[in-house]
Structure 1
Amino acid sequence: MEPATLTLAGILMLALITVESGGAFLLRVTTGGHPANDLQRNWYRAGHAHAAVLLVLSLAILPYTDAYELPAWAVWLARSGVPAAALLMPAGFFLGVLGQDPQKPGRAAVLVPIGAAVLTAGLLAAGIGAIAAGRP
């Protein structure tokens, strides 16, 4: 594996620690230790789940990117698209419901669809790169 790939893998593994601490926060919310309305509880759950799944997916895709024979920008997108989505989407879920008792998501919720678009682009690049690398 390339040194840059290993470095990113290490960063992603360490980022999972933030998901772990987010789980502790979510536990406080669900047990009543931190006040939250239904909207906040649902969005906190979604943010936590997206962060965990996308970070693990990032780690699963990463080793394959070293074999891609794509333009440098496409390899960069394949390598960083899913990790970027792992930041953007949960940030939208958490920041979108800040406040004492929000009745609807705030402006930061726009990070969710932006993250989804980045996720799609990263997965497209990764999928195309894997198919291209596997062809004789």
Structure 2
Amino acid sequence: MPKKVTPKETPDPQGHLGDSIQSLADRHLAFGWWSLLIFLTLGVVLELLHGFKVGWYLDVSNETRRHMWTLAHAHGTLLALVNLAFAFSLKGFGGHGGRGLVTASRCLIGAGVLMPLGFFLGGLVIHAGDPGLGIVLLPAGALLLLAGVFLAARSFRTRRTE
């Protein structure tokens, strides 16, 4: 008796080695929810540092640290929501994502890691009011975000016109 082929196992008709839409959506749902938990927790920790008037965080000489960590929290939370939106957007697609959506997926997850990590690491060690070396991750994360959004928009536009 032949094995029943599920949509997840169906080969990509365009010959791409892309992941199935469901596996992409599942990956972004998991990444988005876990990221949201992590960065909301960071926000609570920052509020506690503020509430307990921790000098290492609040002193004027640590303004850059406070700013960098606030940006890490904000960008991490926003990018978690972007990943969740991407996952929910994929529900309208059928079959496989093709190369564009798979690459968009990888870019969005990369941006979700690199951008907040760059801000956070940049705030760990301050050099005369300037962020630490970790901030170099930020431009790479920003480029990944731009590429991911572009590729997703193009993939969804292509699907709409088919």
SS at match of 2:82: helix
Confirm whether residue 49 of structure 1 aligns to residue 74 of structure 2: yes
Q: Percent identity?
A: 24
- What pairs with 1:11-30 in structure 2 (closer than 5 Å)? 11-30=31-50
Distance 2:148 2:77 in 1: 17
Amino acid at match of 1:86: G
**Counterpart position of 2:125:** 99
**Counterpart position of 2:13:** none
CA contact (8 A) 1:43 1:94 kept: yes
* Structure 1 unpaired stretches of 5+: none
Number of aligned residues? 136
**Counterpart position of 2:3:** none
Structure 1 residues 49 and 64: CA distance shift in structure 2, 3 A:
same
Tell me the TM-score normalized by structure 2. Answer: 0.73
Structure 2 counterpart of 1:58, from 83, 91, 101: 83
Structure 1 residues 89 and 14: CA distance shift in structure 2, 3 A:
same
CA contact (8 A) 1:62 1:79 kept: no
Of stretches 57-66 and 47-56 in structure 1, the one that deviates more from structure 2 is 57-66
Distance 2:27 2:97 in 1: 21
Structure 2 counterpart of 1:111, from 103, 124, 137: 137
Structure 1 residues 16 and 85: CA distance shift in structure 2, 3 A:
same
Tell me the TM-score normalized by structure 1. Answer: 0.85
Distance 1:9 1:71 in 2: 16
Aligned-CA RMSD value: 2.4
* Structure 2 unpaired stretches of 5+: 1-20
Amino acid at match of 1:92: G
Structure 1 residues 11 and 34: CA distance shift in structure 2, 3 A:
farther
CA contact (8 A) 2:29 2:87 kept: yes
Structure 1 residues 2 and 70: CA distance shift in structure 2, 3 A:
closer
Larger radius of gyration: 2
